[in-house]
Structures are given as C-alpha cells and as structure tokens.
C-alpha cells in the first residue's frame, strides 16, 4: 500500500494507552506508515509500573487474564514472552468480606455447598436457577435486576456487587447486563440458564480457542504490567509524546487535526484516524464532525478511583494473605472497594520479609472518598486493614495514585451510545474509535478490540 501523497502518514492513531499502542503496532505490522500521538510524557495510559523501597507498584492493572490467543501472539511478536509470569497458585483463593471478616469465595460446587459466605436459603435459591424462565432478549436490564431475578438477592449482595466493584469500580444497579457482561446475557438467551450455559458453553469456547475468564491463567511480567506497553511503544517507528491532538476535521480525502503543545503545534493529516482516547477525550475531538456521537461519548461516566499501595514489614500478623485479595460488598458499609494481596499474587513484588497490598477506594459507590488527601487515604486504608485483616502494626510504606476518571461504566443505554459511535464510523469512512469504553475494559478485551479495529482500518484503506 502506497502512503498517501499529501498526508503525514497512512494512519494517525491518537492515544498511546494499550488500545492505541496495540492498534498502531498491528497497522505497522501490516506495512502501513503509522503515526501515534500521545498527550502525556509517557505511553501506556492506565498501565504504569514503578519501583520504590523494594516494592514493585502498579498504578493501574495488576494482572491480566490470558483469555485469547491474540495475547500470546502479541507477546511473541514483541519478544516479551519470556518476561511473562503467571500468578502464584496460592493466589487462586479469593476472599469476600461478610460480617466484617474475609470469607473464602467457594471455587467449586462442593465448596459452595459448604461455604459460610451464603446462607442455606441463598444456596437453595441458586439451585432453582436452571428452572427459571428466560428474560426478554431486547430489554436493556441492569446487572442487579438480572442477578436478583436469576440468582437471588444474597448472591447479588455478596458475589456480584463486590465483583462489579472490583472490576468496574461500579455498581450493579447502574451497569447494563448486555453491555458490561454480554456473555452472561448470551448464556441466558442461548441456554435459558446460566448454570446450564456455563456447562454447555465449554464446547463452544474450545472451538473458538477462547478461554473463559473464570478459568484463564492470570499473568503479569517480571517487571510489571508496563513491560507490555513499553515494548509496544519502543517498537513503533513513529510515536510522538507530549502531543495532545485537538479537533479532527474532514477534508475530501484526509482527516486533519492539530497536535502538540507550546511552540510545537502542527497540523497533521492522514486518510485514516484512530481515536484511541477515553470517551470524554474523544468527544471534543469529534464534536464538529459528529455532534450526536460526541454527545453519546460524553454520557459515559468514569468514576474516580484512588489506588493505595501499602507495604508491611516484619513477621506476618493477622490474615495470612493467602489469596488474590479480598473484595468488599457495599452492604458491609466499609470504606474500600477491596485489596489485592500483591506480594502473594506474583513473586518479587516486595522485598523478602515484606508484604504488599494494593487497595482501591472510590468508584461509583463512594466517589467522594477517592479525592481525599493522601494522608487521609493512608489512614483510611490502615484502619480498614486493621479491622478486616488484623494488621495491628502500622505499615512501613504507603503511596497513592489517584485516577480522577478511572474506568468507563457500561451503564444502561451503552448499546445505543455505541451505535452512535458505529454510525459516525460508517458515515465518515476513515475515522475509527478504539478504547476501553468499547468491547470491554480488560487488558485482553482491549487487545482484541484494537486488533479488530486495525483490521477494519486496513480494509478501509484498501478500498481507496
Ligand atoms: C486503576 C485501574 C485498575 C485496573 N485494573 C485492571 C486489571 O487488573 N486487569 C485488567 O485487565 N484491566 C484493568 N484495568 C483496565 C485496563 O487497564 C484499561 O481498560 C486499559 O489499560 C485501557 O487502555 P486504553 O488504551 O483503552 O485507555 P487509556 O489507558 O486510558 O489510554 C488512553 C490514552 O489516550 C491519551 N490521550 C487522551 N487524550 C488525548 C489527546 N487529545 N491526544 C493524544 N492522546 C490523548 C491518554 O493520555 C492515554 O495515554 C484497570 C484500570 C484502572 C484505571
């Protein structure tokens, strides 16, 4: 494919988080001249790792699930397969707080029957699930309504509420089942039951070579999650940092925008543009070209989350931290969403004799708490660790990373918003949207979506 004569690249990718980096990499691999613009002074977006006082700290994701062969292919192309590490077997256990103490989440039907996390009534209620009628295929139901209908209130409060808090920093009462958990919606529609569908869906997943999020291996890298985004950024031929892009305009054959800061602002154009920025950042870029899409993008909420790293030194006390971490249901009225037992999850996250926990605060549930001063966040986490995990001695180390707008919420109506996004792509021919508000928020989902968008860009350019 020949570069377009009067443009600066075949494709301009705006945004150097995982979505933009992966999309740009795939396009480059397809032989296209790709220019990536990133507004920050570093690439990686939400993904960031740093080391301090012997601790390895993740500012965003702590781990990823190996759900798709696309991940393995990407790591192989980037030659970072050897740096990949899988979670410690000890981290397979998960805890949910009930009655002010962490209770192990049952991981098998047998454990479920013996678990103290759910009452006998809740267990019996779950047994009725395969016999309940299917919900409406067209209703945009909330996650809470769906779970209440199929699995009962207690399952909503002690399994789904903490899970949604842990994954989306959101609330099941606001998220759309179809958009946030499309697989659960599909299981009910296809098999009439989650339990039946979970069992029968195994064959379909094997045929697609996809792995369920329940069984996929959890991985990171020896040097932390940033290994992935650093490798991607280093292999891109044209990446410009400190280059915020502004309003995108459409010419007869190319799209143009200004990019850069201070004295380094330039006008750039290309026949294809991929907007790999958060929805709230994409909206102003397309307000002139696609006002309805801009309005839809602005409607996607991003609650704030603060990440508090806490290191403890000396002899283990209180909870054994023998698991992935603990999640806190809203009905327990605590002040944290949950804590990852980071030094149990992967080796070399803390020096010998130290333990590292990563705690999440805020989200839709308690947005106000996320913006507390660092000192107040430190104190709050110390207090919750003491109460829930029995950490009587204060921590040796604490650091905070605040995300003012952390994770997009796939709330009811998200599907219509995404239809607006697709409509703009169809109408404008050459403008693409690719970020974690579309196709899933997880690392694996972002990679799969970016690969798919890259495929559509290549197809679009081939028609010119
Ligand atoms: C606290 C936290 C914990 C998480 N934990 C996990 C986890 O454990 N496992 C998991 O799978 N996922 C997790 N996620 C989700 C996952 O990390 C994200 O969904 C994913 O990294 C998002 O990548 P992205 O490229 O779509 O967006 P982003 O990472 O937000 O990247 C967007 C980029 O666009 C840039 N940008 C914005 N505006 C402009 C502009 N005008 N011009 C140029 N550039 C611009 C930004 O600076 C940014 O670099 C977590 C997310 C957060 C915030």
Closest CA to 239 of 435, 432, 27, 455: 27
| Alpha carbon of 45 to ligand 1 centroid (Å) | 5
Query: What pLDDT is recorded for position 196?
Result: 85
Does the pLDDT value for residue 110 go beyond 90?
Answer: no
For residue range 260-316, list pLDDT tens digits in order: 877 788 999 999 999 999 999 999 999 999 999 999 999 999 999 999 999 999 877
By three-state DSSP, how is residue 57 classified? strand
To test the pocket of ligand 1, the residue of 12, 13, 16, 17 to mutate (highest count of ligand atoms within 8 Å of its CB) is 17
Residue 441 CB–ligand 1 contact under 6 Å: yes
Q: What is the pLDDT of residues 201-240, one digit of tens each?
A: 777 766 665 666 667 899 999 999 999 999 999 999 999 9
Return the CATH number of the domain spanning residue range 118-208: 1.10.3110.10
What does the DSSP 8-state code read for residue 4?
P
Q: Is the CB of 165 under 6 A from ligand 1?
A: no
Architecture of domain 89-104+303-406: Alpha-Beta Complex (3.90)
Q: Higher pLDDT residue, 325 or 212? A: 325
Q: Is the CB of 358 under 6 A from ligand 1?
A: no
**C-alpha 15 to ligand 1 mean position (Å):** 9
Instruction: Give every strand in the sheet of 239-240, ordered side by side.
Output: 239-240, 34-37, 11-14, 272-275, 431-433
For the chain, what are the domain ranges? 11-47+223-299+413-462, 89-104+303-406, 118-208
**What local confidence, expressed as pLDDT, does residue 464 receive?**
77
Cα separation of 334 and 161, whole Å?
13
Answer whether 18 contacts ligand 1 (Cβ < 6 A): yes
Nearest CA to ligand 1 atom 29: 45
CA-angle at 288, arms to 45 and 411, nearest 5° = 50
Q: What is the pTM of this model?
A: 0.95
Could you give the CA distance from residue 259 to residue 262 in angstroms, rounded to a whole number?
Answer: 10
R_g (Cα) of the chain, nearest Å: 23
Whether 406 lines ligand 1, by a CB cut-off of 6 Å, is yes
**Rounded distance from Cα 18 to ligand 1 centre (Å):** 7
DSSP string, 66-115: ---HHHHHHHHHTT-GGGEEEPPGGGG-EEEEETTEEEEPP-SHHHHHH-
Ligand 1 atom 5 nearest Cα: 61
Element (H, E) at 137: none
- With a 6 A CB cut-off, is 306 part of the ligand 1 pocket? no
Average pLDDT over residues 144-163: 97
63 CB near ligand 1 (under 6 Å): yes
446 lines ligand 1 (CB under 6 A): yes
128-136 — which CB contacts under 8 Å span 24+ positions? 129/193, 129/194, 129/195, 130/192, 130/193, 130/195, 130/196, 131/193, 132/193, 133/192, 134/188, 134/189, 134/192, 135/188, 135/189
SS3 at position 218: strand
Residue indicated by tokens 């907007």: 275
Report CA(302)–ligand 1 centroid distance (Å): 11
For atom 25 of ligand 1, which residue has the closest CA?
17
CA pair distance 150, 282, nearest whole angstrom:
37
**Cα–Cα distance between 197 and 201 in angstroms, integer?**
5
CB of 440 closer than 6 angstroms to any ligand 1 atom: no
For residue 133, give both structure tokens. Answer: 């009628």
Q: Does 21 have pLDDT greater than 90? A: yes
Give residue 213's pLDDT: 66
Give residue 261's pLDDT: 76
**Torsion 248-270-260-46 (CA) sign:** positive
Report how far ligand 1's centroid is from the alpha carbon of 20 (Å).
10
The token pair that represents 455 in the structure block: 């495929």
Mean pLDDT, range 409-438, rounded to an integer = 98
Closest CA to 363 of 161, 148, 176, 214: 161
SS (H, E, C) 276-307: CCCHHHHHHHHCCCCHHHHHHHHCCCCCCEEE
Ligand 1 pocket member 445 (CB < 6 A): no
Distance 354 CA to ligand 1 centre (A): 29
The predicted-structure confidence for 328-337, as pLDDT tens digits, reads as follows 999 999 999 9
Question: Can you give the pLDDT at residue 317?
Answer: 86
Homologous superfamily in CATH for domain 11-47+223-299+413-462 = FAD/NAD(P)-binding domain (3.50.50.60)
* Contact 342 CB / ligand 1 (< 6 Å): no
Backbone angles phi, psi at 250, to 5 degrees: -110, 125
């Amino acid at each position: 494919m020949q570069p377009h004569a009067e443009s600066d690249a075949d494709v301009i990718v705006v945004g150097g988080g995982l979505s933009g980096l992966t999309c740009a990499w795939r396009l480059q691999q397809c032989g296209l001249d790709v220019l990536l613009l990133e507004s920050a002074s570093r690439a990686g977006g939400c993904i960031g790792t740093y080391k301090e006082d012997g601790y390895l700290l993740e500012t965003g994701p702590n781990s990823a699930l190996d759900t798709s062969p696309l991940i393995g292919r990407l790591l192989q192309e980037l030659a970072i397969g050897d740096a990949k590490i899988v979670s410690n077997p000890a981290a397979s256990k998960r805890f949910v707080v009930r009655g002010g103490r962490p209770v192990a989440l049952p991981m098998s039907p047998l454990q479920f029957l013996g678990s103290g996390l759910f009452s006998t009534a809740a267990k019996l209620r779950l047994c009725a699930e395969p016999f309940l009628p299917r919900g409406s295929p067209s209703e945009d139901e909330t996650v809470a309504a769906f779970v209440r209908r199929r699995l009962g209130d207690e399952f909503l409060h002690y399994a789904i509420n903490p899970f949604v808090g842990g994954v989306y920093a959101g609330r099941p009462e606001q998220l759309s089942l179809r958009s946030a958990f499309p697989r659960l919606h599909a299981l009910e529609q296809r098999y009439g039951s989650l339990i039946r569908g979970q069992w029968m869906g195994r064959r379909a997943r094997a045929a697609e070579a996809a792995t369920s999020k329940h069984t996929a291996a959890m991985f990171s890298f020896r040097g932390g999650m940033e290994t992935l985004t650093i490798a991607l950024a280093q292999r891109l031929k044209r990446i410009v940092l400190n280059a915020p892009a502004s309003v995108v305009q459409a010419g007869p054959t190319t799209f143009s925008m200004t990019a850069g800061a201070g004295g380094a602002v330039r006008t750039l154009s290309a026949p294809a543009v991929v907007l790999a920025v958060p929805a709230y950042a994409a909206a102003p870029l397309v307000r002139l070209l696609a006002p309805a899409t801009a309005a839809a993008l602005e409607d996607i909420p991003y609650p704030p989350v603060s990440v508090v790293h806490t290191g403890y030194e000396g002899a283990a006390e209180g909870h054994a931290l023998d698991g992935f971490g603990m999640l806190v249901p809203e009905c327990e009225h605590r002040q944290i969403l949950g804590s990852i037992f980071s030094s149990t999850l992967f080796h070399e996250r803390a020096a010998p004799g130290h333990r590292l926990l990563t705690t999440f605060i805020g989200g839709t549930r308690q947005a106000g708490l996320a913006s507390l001063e660092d000192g107040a966040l430190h104190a709050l986490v110390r207090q919750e660790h003491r109460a829930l995990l029995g950490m009587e001695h204060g921590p040796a180390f604490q650091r905070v990373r605040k995300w003012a707008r952390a994770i997009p919420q796939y709330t009811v109506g998200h599907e219509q918003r995404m239809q607006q996004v697709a409509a703009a792509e169809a109408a404008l021919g050459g403008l693409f949207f690719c970020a974690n508000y579309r196709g899933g928020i997880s690392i694996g989902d972002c990679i799969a979506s970016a690969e798919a968008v890259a495929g559509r860009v290549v197809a679009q350019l081939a028609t010119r």
